[in-house]
Structure 1
Amino acid sequence: METNRIHWKNGFRDGIPIALGYFAVSFTFGLLAKKAGLTPFQAVAISLTNLTSAGQFAALGLMGASVTYLEMASTQLILNLRYCLMSCALSQKLDSKVPFWHRFLLAHGVTDEIFGVAVCKSGKLNPFYQYGLMSSAIPGWTLGTFFGVISGDVLPERIISALSIALYGMFIAVIIPPAKSNRILTGIILLSMLTSLFFTKLVVFQYVSPGFKIILLTILIAGMAAFLFPMQGEAESCSAEGKSIAPALREGGLP
């Protein structure tokens, strides 16, 4: 029990920078939710139960267009497919004896940044460390939405724009430390960036959703890296899955 509490405290501490970044981005979501006519309760409920800004921002537009529930569900599935890959990667870091209910709860808190921090932990991942990350990151995301809704149009447009890119810096901070000590990982990150840019510029991919682009990039780069640079035993900085998925650079850089 004492060990679990220590792991939770460590996770909570490591999740504070994530929470600060989430607060800035979800604040912008709260402003947009207010403009879309949502009440504070509705906006907060969306942030608390979804934890995906890409999906949440898209949902506002879909609500405004009065789409069907099927269209909404299909859009969210495509946008958030990458979390299936991240969950599979994290499941390999959990001990085989971890019960299903732990895995079920942990799956709710899988975001790009939480994944990036958790997958870089050496050794097996204690569920309570992940709970600690969620305990600080999720309130940061939810509170940001709440204050964004109640703030209305108080803040100038320039400040709102600045807040919307705060998470980019935090995500870069997640991948830079392990990349500095591993040349192969550095090369994979750079390749991920260039390939992502290439996919964005190609006309043929302009009609492919951002979420599906991430799936294609992840499979392509992860497969190539696994074939060319197979890992021998436990990685010291990040697991093999983290090497491929974390630096895949989502186009929005959001949770």
Structure 2
Amino acid sequence: MKFTRGLKDGLPIALGYVSVAFAYAVQAVGQGFPPWFPILISATNFTGTGQFAGTNLIAAGAGIAVLVATMLVINIRYTLMSFALAQKMGNGFSLWQRAVLAFGVTDENFAVAIRQPQKLTFPYLIGLMSCSFCGWLGGTALGAGVSELLSASLANGAGQAYYDMLMSALSIALYAMFVAIIIPPSRDDIHVLLLVALSVAASCLFYFIPALASLPAGLNIIICSVVCTAVIAYFFPHEEKHTENQPLPLADNLRSDQNEAPCDGSSSDCGENGKGGSL
């Protein structure tokens, strides 16, 4: 898989990221941070929910311990995504390549990469992640650059109304992009469709049940992911197919050896060492 293929697959993600990053930068500048602050955060952190939450905590004067704990809970889901991607990657990845790719793991990048039929290569993943990262960083810079103009228009009620309308419209773009990512595999594989439906139902439970809704957002995602995936894997296990050139598992080889009749040396099918098989 080539670098250009990754760029092509990452372009829709980048376009969706522009709107969300734009809203993040406008919000950060509106909270009193200088325009360079959201740009720096986006350049060193590639996590939308984490950046929104972290900036809000900093603006509220939260301590370092609270900030670190919140970021850990929100972003720990990327550990599960990294484990899944590692199963799709070949063996030719060095430590520094894996470290670079770990920075680019996001919900959308994971969704696109994991449904590729071939083994993932470093050029493809770099193309995918760098394209989406440019959209995220570019959207942040754009939002920070025009935030002063928006701030001037917010001095009156009409400006506030237009601002709210703009933020609502921009927030829809990322969700629409995610729907476009999951629809094709759901249409082609009934198991994926069942997983999506089960995940939606589980997410609704975490939203409407007060005891579950009080859990941190990052923890909700982890619980939904693990439980829904485990249910689908249990009821619809994936059977591995072995080709003629692919070695059988060790247990199958042992059973095959046990089923072979021992040679007593009298048969013409025995080899010169007294074992079954003709020369």
For 1:29-63, what per-residue CA distance to the aligned partner results, in whole angstroms no more than 9, with x for missing partners?
01001112222222111012111111111112101
- Residue from 3, 10, 14 that aligns with 2:9: 14
- Residue from 153, 161, 171 that aligns with 1:164: 171
> Could you tell me which residue of structure 2 aligns to residue 45 of structure 1?
40
CA-CA distance at 1:22 after TM superposition: 0.1
For 1:147-187, what per-residue CA distance to the aligned partner results, in whole angstroms no more than 9, with x for missing partners?
11111216822122100121000001010001101112111
> Could you tell me which residue of structure 2 aligns to residue 30 of structure 1?
25
Contact 2:104–2:130 at 8 Å: present in 1 too? no
CA-CA distance at 1:96 after TM superposition: 2.7
Query: Which structure: larger Rg?
Result: 2
CA-CA distance at 1:75 after TM superposition: 0.3
> Could you tell me which residue of structure 2 aligns to residue 208 of structure 1?
215
Moved more, 112-121 or 181-190: 181-190
For 1:118-151, what per-residue CA distance to the aligned partner results, in whole angstroms no more than 9, with x for missing partners?
1111121101111001121101001111111111
Distance in 2, Cα, partners of 1:76 & 1:126: 29
Q: Does 2:174 align with 1:179?
A: no
Distance in 2, Cα, partners of 1:233 & 1:171: 29
Moved more, 14-23 or 158-167: 158-167
Q: Classify the secondary structure of the residue corresponding to 2:130.
A: helix
> Could you tell me which residue of structure 2 aligns to residue 240 of structure 1?
none
Distance in 1, Cα, partners of 2:202 & 2:141: 37
> Could you tell me which residue of structure 2 aligns to residue 81 of structure 1?
76
Q: Classify the secondary structure of the residue corresponding to 2:88.
A: coil
Q: Classify the secondary structure of the residue corresponding to 2:2.
A: helix
> Could you tell me which residue of structure 1 aligns to residue 235 of structure 2?
228
> Could you tell me which residue of structure 2 aligns to residue 66 of structure 1?
61
Q: Classify the secondary structure of the residue corresponding to 1:55.
A: helix
> Could you tell me which residue of structure 2 aligns to residue 125 of structure 1?
120
Contact 2:88–2:119 at 8 Å: present in 1 too? yes
For 1:206-234, what per-residue CA distance to the aligned partner results, in whole angstroms no more than 9, with x for missing partners?
22101001111111111111111111238
Distance in 2, Cα, partners of 1:111 & 1:60: 19
Superposed structure 1 runs of 4+ greater than 4 Å apart: none
How many residue pairs were aligned? 229
Distance in 1, Cα, partners of 2:213 & 2:84: 28
Identical-pair percentage: 38
- TM-score, normalization by structure 1: 0.86
Which sections of structure 1, spanning at least 5 residues, go unmatched? 1-5, 235-255
RMSD across aligned positions (CA) = 1.4
Q: Classify the secondary structure of the residue corresponding to 1:92.
A: helix
> Could you tell me which residue of structure 1 aligns to residue 251 of structure 2?
none
Q: Classify the secondary structure of the residue corresponding to 1:121.
A: coil
Contact 2:90–2:120 at 8 Å: present in 1 too? yes
Which amino acid in the other structure matches residue 192 of structure 1?
S
For 1:88-108, what per-residue CA distance to the aligned partner results, in whole angstroms no more than 9, with x for missing partners?
000111113322211111010
- Residue from 86, 92, 98 that aligns with 2:87: 92
Distance in 1, Cα, partners of 2:168 & 2:191: 35
